[in-house]
Structure 1
């Protein structure tokens, strides 16, 4: 989709009611509902994080969304695809600032080039005990991405048309942090499997976009 057209309509999402759990459920791993119920008390004291779903124009003026492939490490999100973002720090005025700061650190996008449109439904992640607050943003300029080598394996530039294509929603088996493989709904984007919390947040973004595009 031509970015100018996307930009004209994307701003309308700020006026929409959020889909929340109805969107999340469509892309949720089968064990999540029971796990979240068991950890409901712990979730009240979860650590906080902010992430940024950034849309921008390519050099050909096509609309893209940036995701990252995380490095392999000894942790629950090793080698997974996610949004740029990270943990809330005491110096952050709010979680939107967290998302913007982390996006600059991880993919090199200056905060001043990003217009935040709105926040969407926060999502609790049981394995890491984080409450993640996602923000939708746009850059009117093609970013000059620069990955943070310590944490980011690759920057994934996802064409909007591929993201919206229903054939890119699949079911596949993945290894989990609980040492079992389960079949989960997922997005297949740029040759990568995107599942779990990121897929759930993408599900809500997709539902919002379908209302305005």
Structure 2
């Protein structure tokens, strides 16, 4: 399980990822963490995007999307997109901080990444057009595959960064129009880089942040 106060402190004091790069499009995502199970384990919420033929169709991601003109900030974007995609309202969440900015390697986006936890119980209300499935994955399963040797100074490091999970037990919603065909999912690319960065920070500061 994790300590919300310690995680807040870590996010406030840890060296943030690079500031937004000029010339990129802007977007934001939200990593939602919560405790569940006996004994309690920290889980993270992921979505599987619908396989609609787009570049990111069928991929595992955090809730989020592009900054729109009406958004007052990238945090507002992350919260709006989370409500639109999975139905969790901003008032149901406590934002604990930011992991900073990450850039996508192929699509030219600067992505602001925020971390939150639920204030209250919630029910998913997914947007069927965009969301094929919602998964709640225990962090200990991801930590088992964490590779601290990856430094991202070479192309091979990016190619070797992935997390494989048997999806079945962790699917909390499945769109009947986009059934999940795979027994095992792969978290890779941008989402895997964000996850790797977060796990690196958390593990460097365990057991203050989380017991693993």
TM-score interval for Structure 1 and Structure 2 normalised by the shorter chain: 0.7 to 0.9
Tell me: CA distance 1:63–1:141, structure 2 relative to 1, closer, same or farther (3 Å).
farther
Matched, 1:209 2:181: no
> Is 1:196 the counterpart of 2:189 in the alignment?
yes
Q: Which residue of 1 aligns with 2:179?
A: none
The corresponding residue for 1:124 is 103
Q: Residue in 2 aligned with 1:85?
A: 64
Length-normalised TM-score, structure 1 = 0.74
Higher relative contact order (CA 8 A, sep 6+): 1
CA deviation string 1:117-146 (max 9, x = no partner): 111131111322211111011113343122
Aligned partner of residue 120 in structure 1, secondary structure: strand
Q: 1:53 maps to what in 2?
A: 31
In structure 1, the residue corresponding to 2:3 is in which secondary structure? helix
Match in the other structure for 1:187: 163
Matched residue, 1:135: 114
**Residue pairs, 1:167-186, within 5 angstroms:** 167=145, 183-186=159-162
5+ long unaligned stretches in structure 2: 148-157, 168-183
Q: Distance in 2 between matches of 1:183 and 1:117?
A: 30
Higher mean C-alpha displacement, 56-65 vs 69-78:
56-65
Which residue of structure 1 aligns with residue 85 of structure 2? Answer: 106
Q: Which runs of 5+ in 1 are unaligned?
A: 22-42, 170-181
**Structure 1 residues 46, 19: closer, same or farther in 2, change over 3 A?**
closer
Cα shift readout 1:143-178 (whole Å, capped 9, x = no counterpart): 31222100010001011222222x366xxxxxxxxx
TM-score by length of 2: 0.74
The structure with the largest helix share of the pair is 1
Deviations 1:65-101 (A, max 9, x none): 1011001122221111010000101111000000001
Counterpart for residue 44 of structure 1? 22
